[in-house]
Amino acid sequence: MARPAPTVLLIAALAARSATLCAQDPTADEVQRALHVMPVNPQVCLSTANRCWDPSVAQPLFDCWLATASREDLVRQATSGSWTVRGLALRALTQGGPARASQLDALRASPGSAPAFEWLVSQVLFTSLVDVLSQNVSERPAPNTISRETARQARDALWEVSDRNMTLVLPYADRIRPISGRDGSAGRFGESSDLASRDPNAYAARRRAWQLLAAGVLAILLATLRVVKVVRTVATALLAAVFMWAAWFSFQTDVRELPPPPLIFLTASCLAFLSAGLVSGVIARFRIRGPLNVGAAAVGAAVCAFFLCFITRSAGLFPIGTGAWGPILEPIGSAALAAPAAVVISLGLGLDAGSSGTPVTSGAGAPGRPS
């Protein structure tokens, strides 16, 4: 019986070769043949453009096809072409020249076309844009990736299709697939960064509202846990930490403090305040004198925040900051924020225990010693 291993290896090699070819641009000779054959065949140009990964290679081929294309053809390619052609078609739809409106503006201005645009055109364009921006961004041709230029074209188009309305565009931006990794310019986080740069105040206002809602839900859960005596001190400390975190991000506008879901609870400030609350609550259950209690809570919270922030960034759960020091600066900043927060929470727990006349002990039900 023939051994299947060589056959399997041959099939795998051919599949890998096929994937590589699909990610490569047509050769210069193929591009020239498509552009200079007489008479020029627009469909051949379009077919060759759909094989391109680099928008600069596809651009002349796309322009060759665009010269005879209708608006409906353009919308069709913006929703069903290759990722590169979609980016070019979306740019052609949404960007006009200095003296003329874009195809999209012309469609909006057509008498009686507003409902048709809203329900038939905009929705399919939004869906296509979400699909394009959900792809990994690469510096060189690779299967199932887009170039940075294609991503930029899609982001520009998303902003224009939404008519530059942050309330309208954010729900679609949050449908983009989160791309795990350290690159903050790709996927859902990359789109949020782009929107924050276009209209910082509108972006911050919308994100802040949702983040306050998330903090409110977490606060309710922690307040409910306070009825359980064994975890009351820790729940109280964490509840105070949540209020401090909400006060902190209420004055922030940066996308790293107001990220898209599900990254809300992985920001450096959230990890800092939660570390402060957790460590302060745990340490408060031990028989430690006041100054030592506060000092231990500050050091422990700083260490906890540093490692939590460093691990989440190193594992690609939250994009790292820009620059060579990005992977280490944010954990340091988180630790620096956690230490004073732990001091405040520890002092608050001490005052609360003193006013209630029930000194904190090392275990539930254990008799307390007067300080």
What 8-state DSSP symbol labels residue 118? I
pLDDT of residue 99: 44
Domain ranges for the chain: 20-198, 204-356
Query: pLDDT tens digits for 281-331?
Result: 999 887 666 688 889 999 999 999 999 999 998 888 898 866 656 678 899
Beta strands in 15-153 (DSSP E): 136-137, 145-146
pLDDT of residue 167: 92
Query: In this model, does residue 54 exceed pLDDT 70?
Result: yes
Cβ neighbours of residue 143 closer than 8 Å, sequence gap 6 or more: 19, 20, 22, 23
Mean pLDDT of the chain: 81
Query: pLDDT tens digits for 57-83?
Result: 899 999 989 888 888 888 899 999 999
Q: How far apart are the first and last CA of the chain?
A: 85
Under the banding of pLDDT at 50, 70 and 90, the label for residue 13 is very low
Query: In this model, does residue 212 exceed pLDDT 70?
Result: yes
Query: pLDDT tens digits for 89-141?
Result: 999 888 865 444 566 666 655 555 555 555 567 788 999 999 999 999 888 88
Residue from 222, 218, 224, 244 nearest 235 by CA: 222
pTM for the full model? Answer: 0.79
Query: pLDDT tens digits for 341-368?
Result: 999 999 988 776 655 555 444 444 444 4
pLDDT of residue 107: 60
Asked if the peptide bond before residue 39 counts as cis, ω within 30 degrees of 0, the response is yes
Are 151 and 173 within 8 A, CB to CB?
A: no
Percentage of the chain lying above the pLDDT 70 cut: 74
Q: Using CA of residue 227, residue 232, residue 234, residue 240, what is the dihedral sign?
A: positive
